[in-house]
Structure 1
Amino acid sequence: MQRRISSIIILVLCTLTSVASAQRLSSPTAPQDPFKKQAYPWKQNITATVFWIGEKPTPRNPTPNHASSWDTKWQVNFGGYDNPNPAARTYGFRPKAFRPKQNPFYVALPYNDKINWRRHKPEASKVIPWFRKYQPKPGKTVCKGRWLQIVHGRKVCYAQWEDCGPFCTDDYKYVFGSSRPKNSKNNAAGIDLSPAVRDYLGFKSGAKVHWRFIDFENVPKGAWSKYGTNNPFVNPAMDADLIAKRRYMEYLRQQRDRSRGKNS
């Protein structure tokens, strides 16, 4: 009997030790590899609306779209007015009037990580999963150009985050967390889709989509990989993940060399 009690005590102590170890490992203060692959969570059944570069203000949407939250010359840099009229678009999901200088597959989400060109918002470094990996200069956005995977019905599309909205620019609890959109307009819309995304998905404004962030290395080639100086498929210099990895590898090399120098 005494031997059995001793065995139970040992088992309980081992269990408590394992739990304590697991808690230490999962502590937010524990060091983490900034390049550890992440599975970004899905935002499900989100009301989506359609917007476009060059859209003029209306009583229901007073913000014009010739500029974005991160680009004061968005329409100029895109190459012109991204006419949403299906008759004014090609089967390649772009406007007929010109060849776009930027990716026509773009979206807006209701968060801006910047206060101004000098400062990030105080929560940005804590809530944006890839912020630490990029190590941005003060006031340099880490959201612009980020890729999303968007699902509507049986269609799957990929697009880049290029503006902020609908209606909000501070809803980080929804964009990066588990909350629903705090915006109450347009049936609580939580994402704006470009005409290219609309046409690819066969989507009507006001319908529901599922979306999540996705690292560029996991984005397959498709209609979204053909145009744009801001598009890593066209311009590899825009692959922020690759740039960050190279910077991190250089940091590790320097640390190794310093360690060897101390030990020699």
Structure 2
Amino acid sequence: MTTVFWIGEQPSGNNPVPNRTSSWDKNWTRNYGGFDDPNPSHRSNYIPVKFTPRQNPFYCALPYSDKANTGHRPEAPRVVPWFKEAYQGPAISTCKDRWVAIRKGNRTVYAQWEDAGPFRTDHWQYVFGNERPKPNLNKGAGLDVSPAVRDYLGVREMDVTDWRFVDFSEVPHGPWSTVGENNTFVINDRKKGAALAEATKRNHAGAIVR
């Protein structure tokens, strides 16, 4: 089961935890740029009309966090498939910003993993294995998706989708590739732009010397 959540969401009957923070970002709402208003009449082109998010609006949550109070959970190096290649020190999650392909019917959206949930943060046997999600208030939901993902796929408040992790090389360009300082597409474009500017600067300097 897939449910919808959003940055800045207040606690409610089936959502006891506010989404001002995430498992990996204590200032999630502020770093995002504000409240990711889920009201369709307050959104345009997959983002809120009031501001352009500073992070990718295509985000999701899965019920596992690799982080402990200090360092990483003891099982993380063993169960997170990309742990070694993604490891950047004890303070940084190896799961945050990972790309996930989410499908409903014949439509597939690509989102970045930005929080742990719904309800649990320790169910690696489901996230990386073959177990089913544990029973919970939302009919055993095992995936939370953002309003942008909801709108692209046309999912209801509770719906059925399937998902899988994907390497960035598998992610095509789309509405998920344009916005956000944490967005791999945006990061790579900035690096290319900086490299091009540096190369142009060097060439210009060389031309002056000659």
Tell whether the structures are fold-level matches, with TM greater than 0.5: yes
1:139 and 1:183 map into 2 onto residues whose CA distance is: 31
1:57 matched residue in structure 2: 11
Q: CA deviation at 1:59?
A: 2.9
Q: Which structure has the highest helix share of the two?
A: 1
**Structure 1 residues 73, 84: closer, same or farther in 2, change over 3 A?**
same
Which ranges in structure 1 are unaligned for 5 or more consecutive residues?
1-46, 240-264
CA deviations 1:191-250 (Å, max 9, x no partner) are: 0000000000011021100100001111000000010000011112999xxxxxxxxxxx
Is residue 17 of structure 2 the alignment partner of residue 69 of structure 1? no
Q: Find the aligned partners of 1:97 and 1:135 in 2 and give their Cα distance.
A: 36
Q: Is the 8 A contact 1:181 1:189 kept in 2?
A: yes
Q: Which residue of 2 aligns with 1:114?
A: 67
1:133 is aligned, of 59, 77, 85, to: 85
1:95 and 2:48 are equivalent in the alignment: yes
Letter in 2 for 1:59: G
Q: Which runs of 4+ in 1 moved over 2 A?
A: 236-239
Matching of residues 213-224 of structure 1 within 5 Å = 213-224=165-176
How many residues align structurally? 191
> Shift of residue 86 of structure 1?
0.3
Identity %: 53
Note the alpha carbon deviations across 1:4-48, whole angstroms, 9 max, x for none. xxxxxxxxxxxxxxxxxxxxxxxxxxxxxxxxxxxxxxxxxxx00
Equivalents in 1 of 2:154, 2:6: separation in Å?
16
Name the CA distance, whole Å, in 2 between partners of 1:206 and 1:81.
21
CA distance in 1, matches of 2:54, 2:85: 28
Matching of residues 196-235 of structure 1 within 5 Å: 196-235=148-187
Task: Give the Cα–Cα distance (whole angstroms) in 2 for the partners of residues 189 and 169 of structure 1.
Answer: 13
How far the C-alpha of 1:136 sits from its partner, in A, is: 3.1
SS in 2 for 1:196: helix
Larger Rg: 1
Larger RCO (CA under 8 A, 6+ residues apart): 2
Which position in structure 2 is the counterpart of 1:12?
none
Residues 55 and 181 in structure 2, CA contact (< 8 A), matched pair in contact too:
yes
CA distance in 1 between counterparts of 2:158 and 2:140 reads 10
User: 1 CA distance for matches of 2:104 and 2:28?
Assistant: 27
* Structure 2 residue identity aligned to 1:174: Y
Distance 1:76 1:135, change over 3 A: closer
Name the SS for the 2:180 alignment partner. Answer: coil
CA distance 1:126–1:237, change in 2 (3 Å): farther
User: Would the aligned equivalents of 1:183 and 1:190 in 2 still touch at CA under 8 Å?
Assistant: no
Aligned to 1:44: none
- Are residue 83 (structure 1) and residue 74 (structure 2) matched? no
In the TM superposition, what is the alpha-carbon distance from 1:96 to its structure 2 partner?
A: 0.4
Which amino acid in structure 2 is aligned with residue 100 of structure 1? Answer: P
* Alpha-carbon distance change, 144 to 237 in structure 1, aligned in 2, over 3 angstroms: farther
Q: Deviations over 1:116-146 (max 9, x none)?
A: 2x31101000000000222331242100000
Contact conserved, 1:231 with 1:238, CA < 8 A, in 2?
Answer: no
| Partner amino acid, structure 1, of 2:180 | G
Structure 2: gaps (5+ residues): 192-210
Asked whether the 8 Å contact 2:72–2:90 carries over to 1, the reply is: yes
